Amino acid sequence: MTAPKFTRHQVNSYRTPDEVTRVTNALRAVGRKVVLVPTMGALHAGHRELLRRAKRLPNTVVAASIFVNPLQFGEGEDFEAYPRPLEHDLEVLADAGAELAFVPTADDLYGPNAAVTLDPGPLGAELEGASRPGHFAGVLTVVAKLFNIIRPEYAFFGEKDYQQLVLLRKMVADLNFATRVVGVPTVRESDGLALSSRNVYLSDAERECAPALSRALTAGAYRGRFGAQAVLDAARSTLVAVPEIKIDYLELRGTDLGPAPVDGEARLLIAARLGSTRLIDNVGVLLGAAVEHGPETPLASADAGTEDAGA
Ligand code: AMP
């Protein structure tokens, strides 16, 4: 069967899984590797950074999926309200040199009878999963489907969604996916706020308060040499000054999201509500004696990226 049309150096947009599978099979057959950047659209500079790094891999076709995945939204969440500026997104993809956009509808991807989903295991019920039951089952299921449809050599994900990144790495390891997951450091506004498609929900007043999240994480990270409690105390005391921010969780964990070590690399994670908007952020922290031997500042570890794919 012939593959659908694909023209180099422009964004080729496809809607059905079958089309994308045939195109990516044909690309592989002529020696091009496919790199996938899964997104929910409303693309911003964070997504652009993922695309830019993907583009740096030699001899690859950068593919992005744009799909607001109903399976990862809970009851009462913002599935309907989630921004969907498709035309803008396709321009961003073109600008970034992506050559393939997979833009399915929910029906294209799941059909009317889909019933099997992936179980993320115990970590799926912690942190984000405690507030958003079923969220990670939805994320892993859609990413597993994208991996099977596109069979990318690499897939790029942001550290902004750190727990998602950890769970996706675990899915790939535990279920023997052939795709390599690459983590990309969080892109921030100049005042520290992590870029997110949900930032558009913030009122002007809320937007002014929002950088307190990253300020708190930074304050915590700089206390790393004094241990876990000092890190958490510093972060929490920064947030006390901003009563508009309601903390959902503020936790220090190991880099695999198990218990934090006494000495060594850890991750400080926060979720908080600002008005009706839920924001998440996280940062790398060096704890205890590791500070003496590690990077010059605790935050340097947050910028190191989580896997080098030559990207
Ligand atoms: P989303 O469209 O929000 O599902 O995000 C798609 C991908 O972009 C995910 O891998 C996110 O972790 C990543 N991402 C979102 N925001 C940022 C950011 N500020 N910096 C880096 N990556 C991000």
Ligand 1 centroid distance, CA of 165 (Å): 10
Atom of ligand 1 minimally distant from the CA of 41: 2
- Are 305 and 183 spatial neighbours (Cβ–Cβ below 8 Å)? yes
List pLDDT tens digits, range 221-260: 999 999 999 999 999 999 999 999 999 999 999 999 999 9
- Are 161 and 39 spatial neighbours (Cβ–Cβ below 8 Å)? no
List pLDDT tens digits, range 110-169: 999 999 999 999 999 999 999 999 999 999 999 999 999 999 999 999 999 999 999 999
pLDDT reading at 307 higher than 50:
no
Residue 135 annotated as catalytic: no
DSSP line for 113-157: T--------GGGGSTHHHHSTTHHHHHHHHHHHHHHHH--SEEEE
Confidence band (pLDDT; 50, 70, 90) for 187?
very high
Confidence band (pLDDT; 50, 70, 90) for 196?
very high
Ligand 1 centroid distance, CA of 49 (Å): 9
Confidence band (pLDDT; 50, 70, 90) for 86?
very high
DSSP line for 234-290: HHHHHHHT-TTEEEEEEEEEETTSSBPPSSEEEEEEEEEEETTEEEEEEEEEEETTH
Interatomic CA distance for residues 301 and 289, integer angstroms: 15
Quick one: pLDDT at residue 1? 65
User: CA angle, 64 as apex, 190 and 170 as ends, to 5°?
Assistant: 85
Residue 47 CB less than 6 A away from ligand 1: yes
Polymer length in residues for the chain: 311
pTM value? 0.94
Atom of ligand 1 minimally distant from the CA of 196: 16
Helix (H), strand (E) at residue 164: helix 162-174
Q: What is the mean pLDDT of residues 269-279?
A: 97
Quick one: pLDDT at residue 140? 98
Tell me what the pLDDT averaged over the chain comes to. Answer: 94
pLDDT reading at 302 higher than 50:
no
Q: What is the mean pLDDT of residues 174-200?
A: 97
Quick one: pLDDT at residue 305? 42
Nearest residue CA, atom 22 of ligand 1? 158
